[in-house]
Structure 1
Amino acid sequence: MTPVRSLARVMLSGILVVEGARSLAAPGRLAPAATPMTDRVAPLLRRAVPGVPTDTETLVRANGAVQFGAGLLLATGRLTRPAALVLAGTLVPGTIAEHPFWTDTDPALRVNNQLHFLKNLGLFGGLLLAAADTEGKPGLRWRAGQRLDHSQRWATRAVRTARRQARIAVRSAATARRFPG
């Protein structure tokens, strides 16, 4: 891993690790802003996973735990692509819940929320880039294509070899009929 990639991952994940730790330690500070979002998500969660706690503070804490864990994975260079994708997913509900600039009537608050929304949008873009980064190595799509090409070449060769052997067998049989014994 190059030093630039390592540094960029640490810098990208830093804010999410810190925010995740804060959400774990004090979910109450985010609960009022998160309540409208969690009220929409809670019924879906209850249907999908019966018995899971769906109160706002628990969901804020769970989101914080995921941000903290995935942020550490990204920062340390472990499972970077899945971690970046998970972090991008955790960023969406928080951004919508905490920075709904489209509902603000106060111009100063609206500008502040717009800036934070755009900052999070930039983080989201960076996380998508990190999720797509193969570190210069072939990605899964390329490797799968290579395997497919290899399999197709192998099958084509096998068919050619089988045809050639069939022709040889036919010639041998024809020769044996002409010159018995």
Structure 2
Amino acid sequence: MATVLSVSGSPSVSSRTQRLLRHLDDRLLAQGHDVVALDVRTVPAEALLGADFGHPAIVEAAELFARADGVVVATPVYKASYSGVLKALLDLLPQYALAGKTVLPLATGGSTAHVLAIDYALRPVLSSMGAAHIVQGWFTLDQDITVRDDGSLAVAARADEALGRVVDQFSAALGHSPVLAAAG
């Protein structure tokens, strides 16, 4: 089984991006992977903004990346790019922190005008960090993600199906054939 680092690049406590990512983590767990969550918003701002490479939280984050076989990176899209808090963390990781790793980029946003942010903003940075394989990512519209009154997540059927496919492709790229859910 592969170890997957699941990175939420959202600065928000009530983030749809983070909730969607944890929903996808459940799918990876069901496929037999070990999933380790990293919410970048929990990394101290003074370490990120002060570029404190030696801060214990930055060192720990770098170690999480080093131990992972694969990395899922999810971000909300702001101003046609990934979040600043994610950028701050990526800047503090070793140059080739993704060397030899399979990476799944995911993004959320309010408009389809931002759909290319994965390919034109996030993917080049992931590639420059040495990712061995960046699988097809997915952009999910905010309107397709609903948090119910009980806190559970509802994802529009077409988005959930597409997300399932990209997660299964990521899982297969890690060398583990996904267990497909029964149609129902």
| TM-score range for the pair, normalised by the shorter chain length | under 0.3
TM-score (norm 1): 0.27
Larger Rg: 1
More strand by share: 2
TM-score (norm 2): 0.27
More helix by share: 1
